[in-house]
Amino acid sequence: MRCPYCQDDNSRVLDTTHDSRGGVRRRRECEHCKQRFSTYERPILASPLIIKRAGTREEFNREKLLEGIRISCAKRPVSAADINHLVSEIETNLQKMGREEVSSRVVGDMVMNGLKSLDQIAYIRYAIVYLQLSDLQSIRNEIDRLLEV
């Protein structure tokens, strides 16, 4: 592993921890400059193609999903760690499905379920775009459905 400080290729692992999603965090020390740094490794599994509403297909893009959720959670008390966890959870669920193609509707529903438990205002913000709520009455109906639960 290359040192981020001096770019030397030799480092030694001081500590290793595993997380619930199969990732590995390693604490390292550079053999050359003695600086310490952490690395995070996670398995790269094949992600399915996403079938859009118009019928086009595109690669699953973690960053695009992350950005959409961040926009919904803007100025809300939702931590970056919670957002990253939600995106990782969705990505893992998609990979576990083992399908080559998945409808964007499936991804959107996963986001909606995650945001519902994370922050209700972020959920409504996302729902306005995702469900194409175009007037106040449809937004109010969605809020009423949210309050029923």
Residue 77, domain member (yes or no):
yes
For residues 37 and 61, state if they share a domain.
no
What is the pLDDT, as a whole number, of residue 21?
Answer: 65
| Residue-level pLDDT at 112 | 93
Q: Are 97 and 49 in contact (CB under 8 A)?
A: no
d(CA 15, CA 37): 11
Answer for the pair 12, 28: CB distance below 8 angstroms, yes or no. yes
Say yes or no: 37 and 53 in one domain. Answer: no
What integer best gives the mean pLDDT of the chain?
90
**Does residue 35 sit in the same domain as residue 91?**
no
pLDDT at 122 over 90: yes
37 and 58 co-located in one domain? no
Q: How confident is the model at residue 130 (pLDDT cuts 50, 70, 90)?
A: confident
Q: Encoding tokens for residue 127? A: 């729902």
CB 4 within 8 A of CB 37: yes
Residue 30 has pLDDT above 70, yes or no: yes
Q: Once rounded to an integer, what is the mean pLDDT over residues 93-122?
A: 92
Is residue 21 domain-shared with residue 89, that is, in the same domain? no
Residues 2-27 have pLDDT tens digits of: 999 999 999 999 999 987 667 899 99
pLDDT score for 52: 92
Query: Which one, of 135, 137, 126, lies nearest residue 76 by Cα?
Result: 126
Same domain, 55 and 127: yes
Q: From CA 64, how far away is CA 42, in angstroms rounded?
A: 19
The answer to whether position 105 is within a domain reads: yes
Write out pLDDT tens, residues 48-72.
899 998 999 999 999 999 999 999 9
Same domain, 37 and 85: no
The total of structural domains in the chain comes to 2
Q: Are residues 26 and 62 in the same domain?
A: no
Query: Do 47 and 59 meet the contact criterion of CB atoms below 8 Å apart?
Result: yes
55 and 37 assigned to the same domain: no
* Statement to judge: residues 32 and 54 lie in one domain: no
Is the separation of the CB atoms in 2 and 34 below 8 Å? no
Q: Is residue 6 part of a domain?
A: no
Report, as an integer, the average pLDDT of 21-45: 88
Determine the residue type at 118.
L
Is residue 32 domain-shared with residue 94, that is, in the same domain?
A: no
Which token pair is 2?
């290359």
Domain of 24, in residue numbers: 11-41
Token pair in block for residue 19: 């997380």
Asked if residue 53 and residue 83 are part of one domain, the reply reads yes
